[in-house]
Amino acid sequence: MANKTQEVGDIHFPFPFTPYSIQKDFMAELYQVLESGKIGIFESPTGTGKSLSLICGALSWLRDFEQKKRQEEARVLETETVPLSGGKDQPSFLSSSCQETPDTPRPVGEPDWVTQFVQKKEERDLVDRLKEEKIRRKKREERLQQIRHDTQLKYAAKRERQEEEETERLLRLLVGGNSLPLSHLSKLRDTSSPDISNYAKGH
């Protein structure tokens, strides 16, 4: 069956078929629990596709989380500045330790320029870490792509060998036994069907 993208609110769930309403509710609740960083306990009657709903809901959240993370990282790296804590544009993956909140106690007598210097340094360090993480992620993706490519080549070569072995086996049967040299079989394998038939008739 073709995959169908199901939408529950603003969340898109790629499902292999049209899910039941109980599956939609299951995935939506699971998504919200993961989004809130909480722990959820779910129950569902037997035969309602809990495993598929669990996998689809979790992967949908992971997909959206990675996408948001990359967008936030790109925005920070583009400006090389970190939004102030408490703002609506504050990236969720940034550590709050490098942001000074209104309730954060400041050392008595510490000049403003010292506080600003420390904050700017922590922001620069964070931007540098994001750059390094971006480079590492790119390398991981390149390695993964290479592994996929090598795997495809490996299975393609395996299929080709199997096809060659099957062709030789059929040719041996066609010429009436296993006494024909492999060199002749190789020539027959590369020859058109009419010639093979004529060769078989002549032997």
At 93, give phi and psi (nearest 5°).
Answer: -90, -5
**Within-domain flag for 14:** yes
**Within-domain flag for 78:** yes
pLDDT (0 to 100) of residue 55: 92
**Within-domain flag for 44:** yes
**Within-domain flag for 188:** no
**Within-domain flag for 103:** no
CB neighbours of 65 closer than 8 A, spacing ≥ 6?
A: 34
Q: Comparing C-alpha atoms, which of 181, 184, 179 is closest to residue 199? A: 184
Domain span including residue 65: 1-97
pLDDT (0 to 100) of residue 28: 92
pLDDT (0 to 100) of residue 33: 94
**Within-domain flag for 41:** yes
Provide the residue type at 110 as one letter: E
Q: Comparing C-alpha atoms, which of 148, 194, 158, 154 is closest to residue 174? A: 194
**Within-domain flag for 47:** yes
**Within-domain flag for 34:** yes
> How many domains would you assign to the chain?
1
pLDDT digit string, tens, across residues 70-111: 888 888 777 766 554 544 455 555 544 444 444 455 555 667
pTM flag (> 0.75): no
Q: Comparing C-alpha atoms, which of 62, 78, 59, 70 is closest to residue 14? A: 59
Q: What is the pLDDT along the chain (203 residues), one digit of tens a residue?
A: 444 555 566 788 888 888 888 999 999 999 999 999 999 998 888 888 889 999 999 999 999 998 888 888 888 777 766 554 544 455 555 544 444 444 455 555 667 777 777 878 888 888 888 888 888 888 988 998 899 899 999 999 999 999 988 888 888 787 765 555 555 555 555 554 454 445 444 55
HEC-encoded secondary structure of the chain: CCCEEEEECCEEEEECCCCCHHHHHHHHHHHHHHHHCCCCCCCCCCCCCHHHHHHHHHHHHHHHHHHHHHHHHHHHHHHCCCCCCCCCCCCCCCCHHHCCCCCCCCCCCCCHHHHHHHHHHHHHHHHHHHHHHHHHHHHHHHHHHHHHHHHHHHHHHHHHHHHHHHHHHHHHHHHCCCCCCHHHHHHHHCCCHHHHHHHHHHC
